[in-house]
Each structure stands twice: as C-alpha cells, then as structure tokens.
C-alpha cells in the first residue's frame, strides 16, 4: 500500500484551505495552489487564525502550530504540484476538473493518486480522460474540514481497490472517519442533505415563513445550523452548483429542482459568509 507523505491541494478556497490545514497538522507536507495570489494570502491568514484558535482551546500546542504552518507551501506555480497525492478542490464543473487532472497526470508519476473533493459529480466521469484512471478516487471532505470528522471515499468504475484502501488509511491518518460510497450523484451525504436545502427554499418561495424562522425552528429541533445559515457557511454559489448538478444527473427530477431564490443570490454575488452577505449579513 502506498504511503502518503506529500499532498498537493489545488484551490485555496474554504475547502482547499481546510484540507491543507488538516493534512499539515497530521504531519504531511503540503503544497496549496491557487492561480490567485490574493486567495493564497487569504488562505494563509485563515489557516493561521484557525491554528491560533486551536492553541487557545488547548487542542494543539504552539510548537505544533508552528510546525504545521511550516509544512504548507503556498504557491501559484503549477509546476510545484508534484506529490504522492493531489486533491482538487476547485469549481464544481466537470470539464474544468477533467482538464486539471489531466495536467496533474502529465507532470506526476503514474503512481501519484489523483483525488477529487467533488460534492456531486461521479468520479467515473472525472476520471474518463485521465491516463491510468485506476488511480483516480473521490476524497470528499465536509465544511469546515478541520472540524468535520466524516470523509466520503468514492471509487469510480476504474478505481483500484488498492487506491481506495490507501485513501481510507490516509483519511484515518488525518483523524477522520472514512465512509465508502458508491459512485452515484451526490454520493451519500449530499444526496440526503439536498432536501434540507431544497425544501427549506421551497418553503421560503411559497412565503410559508421567513428564512430566519425556518433556521430557528430547525435549530430548535436539534440541527446545529439551520439550512440558510448553513448555505451561507458553505457558499450559496457552491450549494447551488451542487444542487444543479444532482438535478441534472437525476434526469431533472422535480424533487431536486434548484431554487430561483438561490439562483438570484448567486447572480447578485451574495454568496454567503465568504462575501460578507448571503441570506445574512456578516462583518
């Protein structure tokens, strides 16, 4: 079984930065890549702040924080991305993911495992044009990656058993719980959770209640976050893309229909906490 000592994470947004953070904290050398220099600077600041909070809560020591930060190389040079494992955490678009994995395959050895953090796109489709598709696997973290314990590991039609087992061992090394899922639209969590968002948006569309009250009711029922507060945290744009993808893959089944309210938020750039405004306003 292949040992993962180095990881390249492509995309320094909320998910990419979170994945880089947990990998570095587990003792793995990390390249965190983004074409946008400002995005890299923001990711570096967010990771440092997250580690600082962990120190304040006595979850890690200052020595561990310093060592973890030192393991992350923030880069906008694609040629730096040579590692045992490459994980993409970019936009939820099939053609973009395929192109990226082909570029990564071209500069890495055939033994390099290529992973996607996709929320909904089948791994078989992503791997279709990649050389040695048996080394392509889904490793799907949940937001926020440094707190959420669950990680879905998804095998495509060509993914080898050894690669799946290597991915599961790696996830365990990060202190996470790996759950294997079939290569179906939305896998497990996003298929089940889709209705948490879609039905809440339908209630809002039909003026049954305000989004604030829907959140309050769901939180009072035991959910840690209401659907609208959670969409703001995930990113309304990301959430809408996942819903649209699942809707298409289930042959436009009406139960997965994206909301026009959510589409309007996306078009307006009201993407949630990362933009300072979504359903709620943020400082």
Known catalytic residues are 119, 140, 152, 190
Q: How many angstroms separate the Cα of 113 from the Cα of each of 59, 85, 130, 174? A: 31, 5, 11, 17
Around Cβ 263, how many Cβ atoms within 10 Å?
A: 14
Using DSSP, state whether 82 is helix, strand or coil: coil
For the range 155-162, what are the long-range contacts, defined as Cβ-Cβ under 8 Å and sequence gap of 24 or more? Answer: 155/123, 155/180, 155/183, 156/122, 156/123, 156/124, 156/126, 156/127, 156/183, 157/124, 157/183, 158/124, 158/127, 158/133, 158/134, 159/123, 159/127, 159/133, 159/134, 159/135, 160/134, 160/135, 162/1, 162/2
Do you know the residue count of the chain? 283
């Amino acid at each position: 079984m292949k040992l993962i000592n180095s990881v390249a994470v492509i995309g320094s947004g909320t998910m990419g930065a979170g994945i880089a953070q947990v990998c570095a904290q587990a003792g793995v050398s990390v390249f965190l890549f983004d074409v946008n220099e400002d995005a890299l600077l923001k990711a570096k600041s967010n990771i440092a702040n997250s580690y600082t909070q962990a120190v304040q809560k006595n979850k890690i020591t200052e020595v561990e924080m310093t060592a973890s930060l030192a393991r992350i190389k923030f880069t906008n040079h694609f040629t730096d991305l040579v590692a045992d494992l490459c994980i993409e955490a970019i936009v939820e678009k099939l053609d973009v993911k395929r192109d990226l994995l082909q570029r990564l395959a071209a500069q890495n050895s055939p033994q390099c495992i290529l992973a996607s953090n996709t929320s909904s796109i089948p791994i078989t489709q992503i791997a279709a044009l990649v050389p040695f598709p048996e080394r392509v696997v889904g490793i799907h973290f949940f937001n926020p990656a440094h707190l959420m314990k669950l990680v879905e590991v998804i095998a495509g039609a060509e993914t080898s058993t050894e690669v799946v087992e290597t991915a599961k061992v790696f996830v365990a090394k990060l202190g996470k719980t790996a759950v294997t899922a079939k290569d179906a639209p939305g896998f497990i969590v996003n298929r089940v959770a889709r209705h948490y968002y879609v039905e809440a948006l339908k209630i809002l569309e039909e003026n049954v209640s305000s989004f604030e009250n829907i959140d309050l009711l769901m939180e009072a029922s035991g959910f840690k976050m209401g659907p609208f507060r959670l969409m703001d945290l995930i990113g309304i744009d990301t959430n809408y893309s996942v819903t649209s993808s699942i809707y298409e893959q289930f042959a436009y089944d009406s139960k997965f229909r994206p909301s026009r309210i959510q589409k309007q938020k996306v078009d307006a750039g009201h993407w949630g906490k990362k933009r300072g405004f979504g359903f709620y306003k943020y400082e």
